[in-house]
C-alpha cells in the first residue's frame, strides 16, 4: 500500500506529466551532436532515467505565476542537462562503475571522452538558455555552475578527512542544493516574480535540496545494493564522510573512530565490514539524527513559501518535502 508521501509524489508528477514528457523530448533533441560519441553518451545517460525532480521544481515554481510554458520546458531541459553533465564528471572523479544500476558512462567510453562529453553538455545547456534572452537566467546558471565546480574541488580536498558538520553542509549545498535552489529561482524568473518572491522560492529549493541529499547519504549507508543501483556505503568507500558518520564520530570512542578511519584509508570495506559501521551508527542514533535534520530542512522549506496565495501548485510544493523524506531510493 502506498504511503501518503508516495501518493503525493505521484500526484505531482501526474500533474506535470505532459510538460515533463515535453522536457524529455527536448532533452533527447538537445543532446544530439555531430560527434557520435557525444550523442551516444547523452542517450545512455538519458535512458538511465532519474527522478527529474529538478525540472519538476522549475515547472512548479513557474506555475505559481503567469509564465511562458515554452520557456519553462526549455529551461527544464537546461537544468536536467546540467545535472546530467555533473553526473558524468562525478562518475569519472569517483571512478564509479555503476550509475542507477547500469554501467557508468566512463566504463564504456573511457574517462577522456566522458570529460569532453560532460563539457559539451554544459555548453549546450548555456546555448539553449541564451535563447531566453534574459540576463537573470544566465546570471543564475553561471553562479550555479561555479558553485558546483567549487563544491567538487572542495570535496576532493576533504576526501579521507573527518570534516566538521558545517563544512559538510556547505559541500552538499554546492553539490546538490544549489541546483534545487536555482531550478526554483529560474521558474520564478520566468514568472517575473519580485526579488523577495524569488528569494523565498530559492530558500525553499535550498532547504529541500539539503533534505534530499541528507536522505540520499543516509540511504547510501542503509539501503541494499539492489535499491541503490550501486555498492552500499559508496560514500565511505570513496573517502567521503556524511552527516550520520560525522554525528557518530563526534560521540564515539577512539577505538570506534579507528573503524571509520580504516575504511576511509583503505577506500574499501576490507578490514572493517559494513555491519560494523551500521552498528556504530545505530549505537549513537546517528542515522535517526540525519533523518531528523533532513526533516528540519524539509519543514524550513515549507515555511519559506507559506506566504504565497493558496493554490493547487502551492499545495504540491508543500507536499514535496514529505515525499523527499519518505523515499527509499
DSSP helix/strand/coil, 99: strand
pLDDT of residue 5: 61
- Average pLDDT of span 205-219: 97
Alpha carbon distance 1, 159 (integer Å) = 41
Please give the CATH topology (third level) of the domain spanning 142-315: Farnesyl Diphosphate Synthase (1.10.600)
The residues near 183 (Cβ < 8 Å, ≥ 6 apart) are 54, 55, 57, 58, 61, 79, 205
Chain-centroid distance of CA 187 in Å reads 18
* CA torsion, ordered 119, 124, 129, 131, to nearest 10 deg: 150
Alpha carbon distance 211, 207 (integer Å) = 6
Residue 1 banded pLDDT, cuts 50, 70, 90: very low
pLDDT of residue 77: 96
Helix axes 53-63, 178-190, angle to 10 degrees: 30
Fold identical between 7-133 and 142-315?
yes
Residue 324 banded pLDDT, cuts 50, 70, 90: very high
Helices (H), 16-104: 17-30, 36-47, 53-63, 69-94
pLDDT of residue 199: 98
- Average pLDDT of span 28-33: 94
Residue 7 banded pLDDT, cuts 50, 70, 90: low
Express each pLDDT in 262-307 by its tens digit: 999 999 999 999 999 999 999 999 999 999 999 999 999 999 999 9
pLDDT higher at 141 or 95: 141
Please give the CATH topology (third level) of the domain spanning 7-133: Farnesyl Diphosphate Synthase (1.10.600)
The domain spans of the chain are 7-133, 142-315
Q: With a threshold of 0.75, does the pTM exceed it?
A: yes
Mean pLDDT across the chain, nearest whole number?
A: 93
Helix axes 312-326, 53-63, angle to 10 degrees: 160
Alpha carbon distance 168, 29 (integer Å) = 37
Cell numbers at residue 20, please? 515533463
The residues near 190 (Cβ < 8 Å, ≥ 6 apart) are 62, 65, 67, 68, 71, 72, 75
Amino acid at each position: 500500500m502506498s504511503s501518503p508521501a508516495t501518493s503525493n509524489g505521484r500526484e505531482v508528477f501526474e500533474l506535470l506529466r505532459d510538460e515533463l514528457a515535453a522536457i524529455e523530448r527536448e532533452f533527447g533533441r538537445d543532446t544530439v551532436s555531430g560527434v557520435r560519441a557525444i550523442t551516444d553518451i547523452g542517450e545512455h545517460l538519458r535512458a538511465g532515467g532519474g527522478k527529474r525532480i529538478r525540472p519538476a521544481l522549475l515547472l512548479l515554481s513557474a506555475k505559481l505565476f503567469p509564465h511562458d510554458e515554452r520557456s519553462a520546458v526549455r529551461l527544464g531541459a537546461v537544468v536536467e542537462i546540467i545535472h546530467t553533465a555533473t553526473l558524468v564528471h562525478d562518475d569519472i572523479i569517483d571512478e564509479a562503475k555503476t550509475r542507477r544500476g547500469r554501467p557508468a558512462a566512463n566504463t564504456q567510453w573511457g574517462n577522456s571522452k566522458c570529460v569532453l562529453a560532460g563539457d559539451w553538455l554544459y555548453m549546450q545547456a548555456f546555448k539553449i538558455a541564451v535563447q531566453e534572452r534574459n540576463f537573470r537566467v544566465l546570471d543564475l546558471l553561471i553562479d550555479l555552475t561555479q558553485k558546483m565546480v567549487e563544491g567538487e574541488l572542495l570535496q576532493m580536498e576533504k576526501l579521507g578527512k573527518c570534516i566538521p558538520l558545517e563544512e559538510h553542509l556547505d559541500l552538499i549545498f554546492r553539490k546538490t542544493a544549489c541546483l534545487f535552489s536555482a531550478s526554483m529561482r529560474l521558474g520564478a524568473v520566468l514568472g517575473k516574480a519580485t526579488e523577495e518572491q524569488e528569494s523565498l522560492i530559492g530558500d525553499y529549493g535550498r532547504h529541500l535540496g539539503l533534505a534530499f541529499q541528507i536522505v540520499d547519504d543516509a540511504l547510501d549507508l542503509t539501503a541494499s545494493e539492489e535499491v541503490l543501483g550501486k555498492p552500499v556505503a559508496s560514500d565511505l568507500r570513496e573517502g567521503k564522510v556524511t552527516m550520520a558518520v560525522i554525528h557518530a564520530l563526534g560521540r564515539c570512542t577512539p577505538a570506534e573512530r579507528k573503524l571509520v578511519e580504516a575504511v576511509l584509508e583503505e577506500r574499501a570495506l576490507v578490514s572493517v565490514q559494513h555491519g560494523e559501521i551500521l552498528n556504530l551508527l545505530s549505537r549513537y542514533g546517528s542515522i535517526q539524527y540525519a533523518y531528523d535534520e533532513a526533516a528540519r530542512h524539509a519543514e524550513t522549506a515549507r515555511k519559506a513559501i507559506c506566504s504565497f496565495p493558496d493554490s493547487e501548485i502551492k499545495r504540491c510544493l508543500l507536499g514535496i518535502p514529505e515525499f523527499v523524506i519518505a523515499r527509499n531510493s
